[in-house]
Chain A
Amino acid sequence: MRRLALLIAGFVIWSAAFLAVYALQATGCAIGMEAGLLRGLLILCVAVGVAAGAVPLWLARRGGVLGQSATIAAAAAMASTLLTLSGVFWLGPC
């Protein structure tokens, strides 16, 4: 079951990062947080998400067909975190 969990771990992290960034942005805009600070926090969130995505990638590096699928999925998830949330680097935060 641990290896099955590894298969989805990368994308679970993606989901968490996605929700965290979306919630932080919505809350930040609603409470009128200063734009520069909000952008900094959002970028920090994305960075943490991408970094955390490296953990399942490293754990999945060995072990059979399922391990290879897990490696692909973890790499895809890491790239997805960076890509889907890349708007925080250049779009207006609110």
Chain B
Amino acid sequence: MLFPAGPAAQGIATLWWWMFWGGAAIFALMLALFLWLLLRPAAGQGIPARWWIVGGGLVFPLPVLAALTGAALWLGEGTLGGTAPTRIEAEARMWQWQFRYPDGSATTDVLHLPAGRDVEIVVTSPDVIHSFWIPRLGGKIDAIPGHANRIVLRADAPGEYGGVCAEYCGTGHVDMSFTAVAEADWGRE
């Protein structure tokens, strides 16, 4: 996800870098406060207790968390639960992936995508729980037997992207990887 290749992954990467720098700053601040108080006894005696608890426990975290959660939900509302006219069915089974396209064709362990266009991938499983994940394009979606889950992804440029099963599904779990090939002229409609 550090090398995003689609809008969903791009949004997540932006969120990550904000959280990373913010988190690093908060971590440094907390540690500095602790060490300051420990190594300089009596340094903080001028600050009333209420300030510490109300300031550090409420005034500081609440707005930060509200802003972050609001932004993340806004981002999620845009990427989750969307639909796209182009639909590919992905069936995960122990331990391979089968993809079926609108024109009726099917491939195993290779997913052909149209580049630069939203595709909706419908993920199902006939046996145990698997999880569909192309790290550079976006988040995961579980393949749960008895349910059909959807995810909308887009590859901005043609190219090959690695995909894996992210949920442990038995001894063949590691081998259950696939390649997503984004093509400029897709022709499977």
Contacts and interface: CB of A to CB of B under 8 A. Distances in A.
Q: Do chains A and B touch in the complex (CB under 8 A)?
A: yes
Interface of A: 83, 87, 91-92
B78 to A, nearest CB: 11
A53 to B, nearest CB: 18
Contacts of A91: 73, 77
Nearest to B65: A83
Interface residues of B, number: 4
Contacts of A83: 66
Contacts, number: 6
A87 B77 CA distance: 11
B62 to A, nearest CB: 9
Contacts of B73: 87, 91
B81 interface: yes
Nearest to A91: B77
B55 to A, nearest CB: 16
Interface string B65-92: 0100000010001000100000000000
The 6 closest A-B pairs by CB, nearest first: A91-B77, A92-B81, A91-B73, A87-B73, A92-B77, A83-B66
B111 to A, nearest CB: 28
A90 to B, nearest CB: 8
A87 B66 CA distance: 12
Contacts of B77: 91-92
B49 to A, nearest CB: 14
Contacts of A87: 73
B60 to A, nearest CB: 16
B28 to A, nearest CB: 27
A17 to B, nearest CB: 19
A92 B73 CA distance: 11
A79 B73 CA distance: 19
A83 B61 CA distance: 14
